Amino acid sequence: MARPSNRRPGYSRRAQYGLFFGYVAAVSGAVVALLLLILSTVDPNGFGALRGAVSDATLPVTSAGRWVVEGVMDTGGSVGSYINATGKVRTLEAQQKASATKLIEARALAFENMRLKRLLGISEQGLRPVAAGRLVGSTGSSIRRYAILNAGYLNGVRGGMPVRGPGGLIGRIASAGAASARVALITDGGTVVPVRRVPDGTPAIATGTGDGFIDIRALGAENATFKRGDVFVTSGAGGVYPPNVPVAIIAKATRETFLALPVADPARLDFAIVEPVYQPQVEEQRRALPPPPGQ
């Protein structure tokens, strides 16, 4: 036969003991509370001594609990300090990156100013430039080497005019459109420039090879030899290119060939100026004229 599910506590001896001890505890607590109340009324001093004894007895437990609370608070403070320190470190790192970026921008601006000053110095020392523009593109197909300049015949640019940068000669205008022009670089296979070696003035011809180099060949001197590091500038012979413009530096020298690299690498340039075609007779006449009044 199954046991009923709604058994009363009286059926369990354990439950009876539990109720009994519960009643005893409740009655004992009430009696103790009543005695303490009576003691505090009749003998306040005795009640104070008893309360002090109870405090002394519970001191270790209270101290332990306080230590736990302080430990938790210290841990929370440490965690907060760590979070704050991490935030400050991240802020300092961000400030450092921002400072590094500004430093790079300042250096880039200084380099740009220096380069523009060099370009301005060229225009002041040489012929008055026809136009200044930016090299916006280049081609490297076959042996033809061209660059695109964002200045055209509306700016006065015409075919055949020399183009130079801050470092030296870049090339020559091959064709000009309304707002752009195609520049045949000095490394182009069809570009020939009369040059001379610095400082002895040995004449030579610089011809583009189409692969980034310039072939230097002595002119009118069979026994003339060049060595690595020799610098060549335009000679001005035949016109077109004004004299004393840096052109190339010998990079590879053999018994038969002398290969040079351009002083002004078009791949590293962005700005260039276009100058009028150099005419030796006109230039000599201009220099022979007396300076204008006030100069």
Alpha-carbon distance of 95 to 42, in angstroms, equals 74
- Enter the tokens of residue 195: 């040059």
User: 131-278: which CATH number, 2.40.10.340, 3.40.50.720, 2.30.30.90, 3.90.1150.10?
Assistant: 2.40.10.340
Alpha-carbon distance of 213 to 249, in angstroms, equals 10
N- to C-terminal Cα separation, the chain: 135
- Enter the tokens of residue 56: 């002394």
Q: Which residues, listed in sequence order, are joined to residue 198 by a DSSP beta bridge?
A: 231
Q: What is the pTM of this model?
A: 0.55
Q: In 3-state terms, the chain is what percent helix, strand and coil (to 5)?
A: 45, 25, 30
How many Cα atoms occupy the beta-carbon half-sphere of 270 within 13 Å? 4
pLDDT digits (tens, 9 = 90+) for 149-170: 999 999 999 999 999 988 899 9
What does the pLDDT average to over 252-258?
A: 84
Highest mean pLDDT among 104-113, 192-201, 221-230 belongs to 192-201
Return the percentage of the chain with pLDDT > 70, whole number: 60
- Comparison of pLDDT for 26 and 156, the residue scoring more: 156
Alpha-carbon distance of 138 to 184, in angstroms, equals 10
Q: Which of 191, 242, 244 is nearest to 213 (CA)?
A: 191
- The pLDDT confidence band at residue 230, using thresholds 50, 70 and 90, is very high
- Comparison of pLDDT for 49 and 24, the residue scoring more: 24
Per the CB < 8 A criterion, the answer to whether 195 and 206 are in contact is yes
